[in-house]
């Protein structure tokens, strides 16, 4: 190959990479800017939500989450697939124990289930505007590292009396994609206190939607439901069963990514 030809090919390759990066940055900026616009529109409804019933807030929250998910699909090429989740159509209530790798699962769970209440860090309840939304929606604050309080139990009881399911992230925080699952005892306290079945959800969202990163990765996020864990298990058996379901599910979904994204490398 002649030197001039090699230099031309090198310049062409750099130009293509530049165009690809520019396109990626442009679509990510569109995604974030449109999300800000949607959030602004949602903020305009605050006076009406303050005077209206709580059901209005749920509808606005679901609309906001659907908009963000649609934007991710349109601008970032991120779609999703939910597998083995027949309980969504059921009128029963249960504890939803979901693996936590990114912000994506909070968006999708809000749209899939009917008005679920999330167990959140207490500091989120103090955020201006957002904290007001959380309180009106009946979210359940928890203090990390402290004994579960009577207030926590009362709020959880109020949610269940409204025939709403409770979402809890048993790992206590977002865990990077590929890291092992470690469940905390808080989920068992709810399981034992309210004698409810637990629906475990595995996922691979952390690969496509990593936390605290500007760039996302195009592809299909998968969420998988597992058979319900029925009430009556002791703490050791329950936590072992839950962690095993989440871990094996996460590993299987990670293998799907490996097969689809790296099979040709």
Structurally, at CATH architecture level, domain 78-261 sits in 3-Layer(aba) Sandwich (3.40)
Q: What is the pLDDT of residue 9?
A: 46
Q: Which residue has the higher pLDDT, 11 or 230?
A: 230
Q: What is the pLDDT of residue 238?
A: 96
- Per-chain mean pLDDT for the chain: 84
Distance CA 109, CA 126 (A): 22
Q: Which residue has the higher pLDDT, 12 or 207?
A: 207
Read off the pLDDT of residues 35-88 as tens digits, 9 standing for 90 and up: 787 777 777 777 777 677 778 888 888 988 998 899 889 888 899 999 877 666
Q: And the tokens for 87?
A: 């309980």
Read off the pLDDT of residues 105-136 as tens digits, 9 standing for 90 and up: 999 999 998 889 999 888 888 887 777 788 88
pLDDT band of 170, cuts 50, 70, 90: very high
Greatest mean pLDDT among 47-51, 100-104, 182-186 lies in 100-104
- Is residue 131 within 8 A of residue 73, CB to CB? The reply is no
Q: And the tokens for 161?
A: 């009396």
Domain range annotation of the chain: 8-76, 78-261
Q: What is the pLDDT of residue 89?
A: 59
Q: What is the pLDDT of residue 64?
A: 86
pLDDT above 70 covers what percent of the chain?
Answer: 85
Four-CA torsion 140, 144, 146, 147, nearest 10 degrees: 40
Q: Which residue has the higher pLDDT, 11 or 97?
A: 97
């Amino acid at each position: 190959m002649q030197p001039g030809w090699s230099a031309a090919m090198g310049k062409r390759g750099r130009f293509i990479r530049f165009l690809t990066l520019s396109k990626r940055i442009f679509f990510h900026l569109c995604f974030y800017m449109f999300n800000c616009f949607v959030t602004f529109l949602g903020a305009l409804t605050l006076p009406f939500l303050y005077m209206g019933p709580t059901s209005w807030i749920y509808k606005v929250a679901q609309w906001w989450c659907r908009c963000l998910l649609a934007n991710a699909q349109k601008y970032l090429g991120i779609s999703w697939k939910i597998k083995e989740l027949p309980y969504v159509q059921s009128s029963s209530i249960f504890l939803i124990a979901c693996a936590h790798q990114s912000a994506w699962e909070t968006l999708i769970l809000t749209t899939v289930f009917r008005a679920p209440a999330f167990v959140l860090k207490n500091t989120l309840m103090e955020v201006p505007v957002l904290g007001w939304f959380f309180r009106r929606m009946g979210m359940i604050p928890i203090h990390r590292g402290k004994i579960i309080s009577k207030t926590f139990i009362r709020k959880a009881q109020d949610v269940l009396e409204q025939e709403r399911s409770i979402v809890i992230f048993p790992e206590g925080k977002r865990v990077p994609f590929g890291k092992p699952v470690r469940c905390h005892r808080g989920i068992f306290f709810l399981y034992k206190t309210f004698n409810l079945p637990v629906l475990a959800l595995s996922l691979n969202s952390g690969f496509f939607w990593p936390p605290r990163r500007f760039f996302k990765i195009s592809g299909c996020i998968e969420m998988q439901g597992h058979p319900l864990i029925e009430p009556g298990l002791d703490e050791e058996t329950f936590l072992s069963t839950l962690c095993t379901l989440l871990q094996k599910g996460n590993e299987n979904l990670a293998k799907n990514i490996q097969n689809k994204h790296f099979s040709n490398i």
